[in-house]
Amino acid sequence: MVAGLSCLTPERVPSPGELLRTELERRGWSQSKLALLCGVSMTTVNRVISNRRGITPRLDAVLHRVLGSEPGYWLACNQRYRRSLGVRSAG
């Protein structure tokens, strides 16, 4: 990379799955523990973490309660990530 041109490269936006994986690692939690605490299936958690499923309003509310995040935080992360990919949000 040419020195001084890094500011011209758009910054990569992390997916909600990447952020959630990092949060689980920080807390020392497994995907199954998060699923149990959230009252969702292990499949749901795994699909979010592997970027095969987005964040729904219901899941955002549950993650807010379980992780102590701000209300709407996970939805906003999901929207920002989708915009970075050029995908329009439904609605």
24-79 pLDDT tens trace: 999 999 999 999 999 999 999 999 999 999 999 999 999 999 999 999 999 999 99
| pLDDT at position 87 | 65
Give the span between the Cα atoms of 47 and 49, in whole angstroms.
Answer: 5
Alpha helix ranges (H) inside the chain? 16-27, 31-38, 42-49, 57-67, 73-85
Please say whether the beta carbons of 74 and 59 come within 8 A: yes
- Residue 35: which of 44, 26, 27 has the closest Cα? 44
79-90 pLDDT, tens digit per residue, is 999 999 886 555
Reported as a pLDDT band with limits 50, 70 and 90, residue 5 is: very low
- List the domains of the chain with CATH numbers: 15-85 (1.10.260.40)
Which tokens go with 59? 């899941």
- Give the global pTM: 0.81
